[in-house]
Amino acid sequence: MAATKNFGPKRLVVGAHYGVVDFIAQRITAVIMAVYTLVLIVGLLVMPSFSYENWKALFTFHVYALPVGQILATLFFFALAWHAWIGVRDIWMDYVKPTGVRLLLQVLTILWLVGSVVYFAQILWSI
């Protein structure tokens, strides 16, 4: 009986999504970040003067008592963290071959991203 080839064009590809979800998620997060960046640029251009109060108003404006500025900034930062996780995780998976080192780097990346999101939320929502 011949040995089964598990690589190349005739490999069995059942049971995994092979990156489609990550591809779509990274594109969606990129669109969110691009739109928010354009909104910030427009906000900076129409700002009467560059002062702390006006800068703070970019992130804390309300619409009908809803903190829209903070919600949009938080959505942007979550999108940034998710986008970064997908990209950095793929780098670790592609270029770091020892499993233990790769796992350590992935765990450190997760801890760094979660810490960054918590720190961001603490700063933004305490304004």
Q: At what angle do helices 68-95 and 20-46 cross, to 10 degrees?
A: 140
Instruction: Return all residues near 111 (Cβ < 8 A) that are at least 6 apart.
Output: none
Q: How far apart are CA 40 and CA 127, in angstroms?
A: 18
- For residue 62, say whether it is annotated as part of any ligand binding site: no
Spatial distance between the Cα atoms of 79 and 32, rounded to a whole number of angstroms? 7
Radius of gyration of the chain (CA): 21
Residue 17 is assigned to a ligand binding site? no
- The CA-based dihedral angle spanning residues 79, 117, 90, 12, taken in that order and rounded to the nearest 10 degrees: -70
Q: Which positions make up the binding site for a ubiquinone?
A: 95
Q: Which positions make up the binding site?
A: 83, 95
Q: Which positions make up the binding site for heme?
A: 83
